[in-house]
Chain A
């Protein structure tokens, strides 16, 4: 099982690189299909899809800005989504404990693995905070597309950023005290 998880994680990582440079819509679509397929197995529950709201909103904002500034939308927003989907699925599948056993302190792998673990942990926090804020919004907004719903959504997104900011600050402080941030 562990070799398969390494292999799938590696493929997803490769896909993220390909998606970030390709100019072929077909390649991008193929990467998207594979990433979505893997996510279906790697993430469970309805909330898994809710965690995509911020990245989709970010990509939509990016597309809007491109349209306003130069009258055309590039593939950048689509690439952003594919890279995000591939990387989050890879992070979920990667056998972190096994990787940590292989990367001992002082080895070349140690710092990158530690960095990846911190990023992985923080993506989890981002997901949890996103779900929490969007759930709070849905309890207050009875009609998803009714009056005030989009205003509530935009404030919910601001709320996510603020909460993640606070969490990031505390996490950094805690690791700094443990001597890991220097």
Chain B
């Protein structure tokens, strides 16, 4: 079976500052992969390259295609800051927007959006603007916006940043219920352990370890070297 994500020899530099060096990995259908690393290790850059928002050197194939950064309903992305994704006057409009934009009738789009919001415990917020929700709710709303197009792959960038313990727990429960391929960039080790089965550890733009989360996240020397503890 072909991998969902194939990355080989990916290098990227901002101006002349190298950020990623020869990154290689692949992700298979149904796998839940965490990308761990200290601040500035290149986690978000890897995700942006996977989404096609940044162009680096090397080969990237996502769901068999080169990512273009344009609307692709098969990939759902959740950014660190929900305000970067949600801007409509009501949350339901934020969810229906990409669907009606694809030509799906409004009634069908609304029913799909309501079902998605309901499944994430946000049914009560459908008529409210995202800005009026708590940060935890906004993060779940951003996840709902990514899930509404029924993607095969979900990419999350620092999903637990600034969240309290209760909101993190709810997010873990939600993500563990999703039968999807998942790629999560985070430096929250407990969170990664709870939602992923495999972890890539990035140090200065290089993958220094790739293996089961239970093994890698218990290796104190490795975590110290990666600046994670």
Contacts and interface: CB of A to CB of B under 8 A. Distances in A.
Interface of A: 96-97, 100, 104-105, 117-118, 120-121, 124-125, 167, 170-171, 173-182
B122 interface: no
A178 B81 contact: no
B90 interface: yes
Contact of A176 (B53, B87, B102): B53
A51 to B, nearest CB: 16
B137 to A, nearest CB: 18
SS class, residues of chain A in contact with chain B: helix
B89 A173 contact: no
Chain B, interface size: which category? 20 to 34
A181 B85 CA distance: 12
Nearest to B130: A121
Contacts of B145: 178
B87 A118 contact: yes
Interface in B66-103: 69-73, 75, 77, 79, 81, 83-85, 87-90, 93, 97-98, 100-102
A177 B88 contact: no
10 contacts: A100-B89, A104-B106, A167-B84, A170-B84, A171-B83, A173-B48, A176-B53, A177-B75, A178-B101, A179-B98
Given A96-B89, A167-B84, A171-B84, A177 B77 contact: yes
A176 to B, nearest CB: 6
